[in-house]
């Protein structure tokens, strides 16, 4: 009986959880593959927040095809509301990623499908290589959901993506050395 009650409470919680879909971000000064990749990363990170139920991107694409929209052609708030109504979600997120010289900007907007009003807007300015936008867009996903980003993600931004990967690799190397030395004296030094 307890298992049944827990299952029912989980179903009720899922039903009461708000729903959300993400449209592809418009690329301005970056190519469409980069914009799509960054949109995918943003969507994945939104899913990691568990703040809302996320509609699968293939469903969004199907609706856009049925309505004669190209993903990149649905950039206005009105289009987002129309697609959101067809999907049956409560919120839609759309945005743009632009480049001016060496500066990138990301502008994201969450719109209520019911009212058509903008619920949340966020923007980020980033100077550096395009691959640094990955961390920025991950942080932005947490921010637009009004949630605190995980410490590991904050650390990744603080160190920079490359330094973060190098620090992670260095930790693994030290641990591997310690484990090998424990099993067979001298093996850790050889491993290092």
pLDDT the model gives residue 105: 95
Percentage of the chain with pLDDT > 70?
Answer: 72
Partners of residue 94 on adjacent β-strands? 109
Mean predicted lDDT score pLDDT of the chain: 80
Contact 140, 120 (CB under 8 A): no
Distance CA 16, CA 4 (A): 18
In this prediction the pTM is 0.73
Contact 147, 171 (CB under 8 A): no
């Amino acid at each position: 009986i307890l298992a049944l009650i827990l299952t029912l409470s989980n179903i009720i919680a899922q039903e009461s959880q708000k729903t959300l879909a993400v449209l592809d971000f418009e690329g301005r000064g970056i190519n469409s593959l980069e914009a799509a990749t960054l949109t995918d990363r943003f969507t994945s990170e939104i899913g990691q927040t568990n703040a809302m139920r996320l509609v699968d991107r293939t469903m969004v694409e199907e609706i856009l095809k049925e309505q004669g929209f190209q993903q990149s052609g649905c950039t206005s708030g009105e289009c987002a509301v129309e697609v959101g109504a067809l999907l049956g979600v409560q919120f839609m997120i759309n945005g743009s990623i632009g480049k001016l010289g060496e500066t990138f900007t990301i502008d994201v907007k969450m719109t209520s499908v019911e009212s058509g009003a903008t619920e949340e807007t966020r923007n980020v300015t980033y100077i550096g290589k395009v691959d640094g936008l990955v961390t920025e867009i991950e942080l932005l996903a947490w921010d637009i959901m009004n949630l605190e980003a995980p410490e590991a993600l904050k650390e990744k931004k603080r160190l920079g993506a490359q330094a973060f990967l190098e620090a992670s690799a260095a930790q693994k190397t030290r641990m591997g050395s310690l484990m090998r030395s424990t099993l067979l004296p001298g093996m850790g030094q050889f491993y290092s």
